[in-house]
Amino acid sequence: MNIRPATADDAEFLKTMLFEAARWNPDWPREAMEEVLDEPVLRRYHEGWGRPGDGGVIAELDGQPVGAVWYRQFTEAEPGYGFVDEKTPELSVAVQPMHRRKGIGHALLHSAMVQAREEGSQALSLSVAVHNRSRMMYQRAGFHRVAEEGDHWTMVANL
Ligand SMILES: CC(C)(COP(=O)(O)OP(=O)(O)OC[C@H]1O[C@@H](n2cnc3c(N)ncnc32)[C@H](O)[C@@H]1OP(=O)(O)O)[C@@H](O)C(=O)NCCC(=O)NCCS
């Protein structure tokens, strides 16, 4: 497995990963990707990908992208689900279903945290459903709960 920085050229792959992250629960009915990505809040996560402040890392197997952790700064006026402030990028994470539970998500998370710190960020945030078992991965990486809304937690890691 190879991990490399995400670029503007990864916009289409990151859309497929955003779809996986937004519809993480396999028990939910399958919806069309384009419809999901067109939801007003989700559009904030992918529109104009590659603008200043956007960053992340991509995992590749045999040269093909299989997963990503990527982040973006949101505004008070148009926040993400895990918004804490305008300086703190919010991350998203997904690995293609057939490549899960092999340590890729954990490795990506670690790399993204190192990269964000090198870029000058002091913290990263995220939003996770309480029942999503990726929460354990975040907690092990140093994320802690800062807010709770419905069945979602907002978590922050100081870098
Ligand atoms: C969450 C996700 C990115 C994890 O990637 P991954 O490559 O499978 O993660 P890893 O193999 O590094 O596992 C990391 C840890 O995450 C937790 N975890 C993740 N998915 C899990 C699952 N389905 N069941 C149990 N634990 C899980 C475990 O603590 C695991 O550690 P362990 O294998 O030592 O028990 C991947 O499962 C995924 O893409 N899920 C759908 C999208 C999603 O939920 N995104 C997050 C939205 S907030």
DSSP 3-state of 71: strand
Q: What is the pLDDT of residues 138-152, one digit of tens each?
A: 999 999 999 999 999
| 93-103 tens-digit pLDDT | 999 999 999 99
Give the residue-averaged pLDDT of 42-71. 97
* Alpha carbons 69 and 93: distance in angstroms, whole number: 4
Shortest CA distance to 21 belongs to which of 72, 85, 84, 76? 72
Total length of the chain: 159
pLDDT at 49: 97
- In angstroms, the CA 133 to CA 42 distance is 21
Task: Tell the residue nearest (CA) to atom 30 of ligand 1.
Answer: 137
Q: Where are the domains of the chain?
A: 2-158
Residue 6's Cα: distance from chain center in Å?
Answer: 12
> Does residue 21 line the site of ligand 1, with CB under 6 A?
yes
Mean of pLDDT values over 6-33: 96
Ligand 1 contact, 80 CB (< 6 A): no
Ligand 1: residue whose CA is nearest its atom 15: 137
From residue 72, give the alpha-carbon distance in Å to each of 28, 95, 136, 150: 27, 18, 22, 23
Q: What is the pTM of this model?
A: 0.96
For ligand 1, is residue 90 a contact (CB within 6 Å)?
A: no
Architecture of domain 2-158: 3-Layer(aba) Sandwich (3.40)
Q: What is the pLDDT of residues 77-126, one digit of tens each?
A: 999 999 999 999 999 999 999 999 999 999 999 999 999 999 999 999 99
CB distance 134 to ligand 1 below 6 Å: yes
Give the closest residue (by CA) to ligand 1 atom 32: 101
Mean pLDDT estimate for the chain: 97
CB-CB contact of 159 with 88 (8 Å): no
